Amino acid sequence: MATRWGLCGAGKISHDFSVAMKTLPPGDHQIAVIASRSIDRAKDFARKHGIPKAYGSYEELANDPEIDIVYLGVLHTEHWRVGMLFLKAGKNVLCEKPFAMNSREVKDLVATAKKNNVFLMEAIWSRCFPVYAEVRRLLAEEAVGDVKLVKGYFGSPQLDIPRSVQKELGGGALLDIGVYCLQFVLMVFNGERPESIQATGVLLDSGVDESVAVTIKFSRKRMALCAFSIAARLPNDAVIAGTKGSIKVLDPMHCPTKLVVNDKETEYPLPEPCLPLNFTNSTGLRYEAAEVRQCLLKGLKESPRMPLADSVLLTEIMDEIRKQVGVVFSLDSQ
């Protein structure tokens, strides 16, 4: 049986997700429904992507008994509210990153998923890429000795994009792209809680972070350096430096196709899209869809690639960075 997906949100990321799905075997995956708050948008989306059903509300999707999993592609300020709707309705959920606006919201989503015995995963699609799988394999066999330093940079000029700069839309570099650098660090250090975090940054007039630099210290004299910006392009790569060599994930580190291990480069090509994409390498969303299907077939309630504990810790680290840099959202006090 194919895994039957319901898409929530008819925006840019849902478009790319639908295009990526067409690179997977149709016997494994079917997008059965698209739900938007606008029935016209939902119908347009359904026509464009060949989806049989369109809903003009999220509630209709939550009440559809024929859906195996909901892909939550709405704005992240809405993740907690809309995510709770689906989890309480007993739906499995793949929720776009960032999981929610703060760790209180994330813990609430996780607790609700556990209470309702459903699958929940934060869509850190990076974790499902073949390059990341190879990085984990190399670390497990200590290919570069003891890891001493991890570096992750991500900068993308997007000051002209409202959701990147407006506070009420959950803007800022950290929640949108910094999350990718931080999740990479946590993957390398196996979800270990850091000993200390030091962050500094500059804010836009709107009160969200434009550029941030973070130094993180872990046990056994290990460190991580991250820098991210929505004002300028950065190298957008990630490096793991060990006592016996280095691993470099080449740009774009969040959806990579190239890996360099001790100066030897390997390429992991992506399939071509059938329609133009909104974001870089988006056919790679196929990997997280395939991961979700495998988890559901095994009866798992979370993915070993991106465990819920990693998502909670990731958000706690982001809360601390925001506190140090001085970014406060209205949802923090609710």
Residue 306, pLDDT above cutoff 80: yes
Place of tokens 């190239």: 258
> Which pLDDT value is given to residue 234?
97
Residue 227 contacts residue 155 (beta carbons within 8 Å): yes
> Which pLDDT value is given to residue 302?
98
Strands in the chain per DSSP E: 3-8, 29-35, 53-55, 69-72, 92-96, 120-123, 147-155, 196-203, 209-218, 222-229, 238-242, 245-249, 258-261, 264-267
Residue 20, pLDDT above cutoff 90: yes
Rounded mean pLDDT of the chain? 98
> Which pLDDT value is given to residue 59?
98
pTM (two decimals): 0.98
Residue 288, pLDDT above cutoff 80: yes
Of 72, 69, 71, residue with least CA distance to 81: 72
User: pLDDT band at 290, cuts 50/70/90?
Assistant: very high
Residue 333, pLDDT above cutoff 90: no
| Beta strand pairing call for 222-229 and 147-155 | parallel
Residue 165, pLDDT above cutoff 80: yes
User: pLDDT band at 246, cuts 50/70/90?
Assistant: very high
> Which pLDDT value is given to residue 11?
97
User: pLDDT band at 312, cuts 50/70/90?
Assistant: very high
Q: Please give the average per-residue pLDDT across 272-281, as a whole number.
A: 97
> Which pLDDT value is given to residue 334?
77
Q: What is the Cα–Cα distance from 277 to 269, expressed in whole angstroms? A: 16
Q: How many helices (H) and strands (E) does the chain have?
A: 11, 14
> Which pLDDT value is given to residue 266?
98
pLDDT tens for each residue of 172-223: 999 999 999 999 999 999 999 999 999 999 999 999 999 999 999 999 999 9
How many percent of the chain have pLDDT more than 70? 100
pLDDT tens for each residue of 123-152: 999 999 999 999 999 999 999 999 999 999
Angle subtended by helix axes 79-88 and 103-115, to nearest 10: 10
Q: Please give the average per-residue pLDDT across 59-79, as a whole number.
A: 98
Q: How far is CA 6 from CA 22, 34, 58, 285, in A?
A: 15, 6, 10, 15
What structural domains and CATH numbers belong to the chain? 3-125 (3.40.50.720), 130-267+305-329 (3.30.360.10)
Q: Please give the average per-residue pLDDT across 248-262, as a whole number.
A: 98
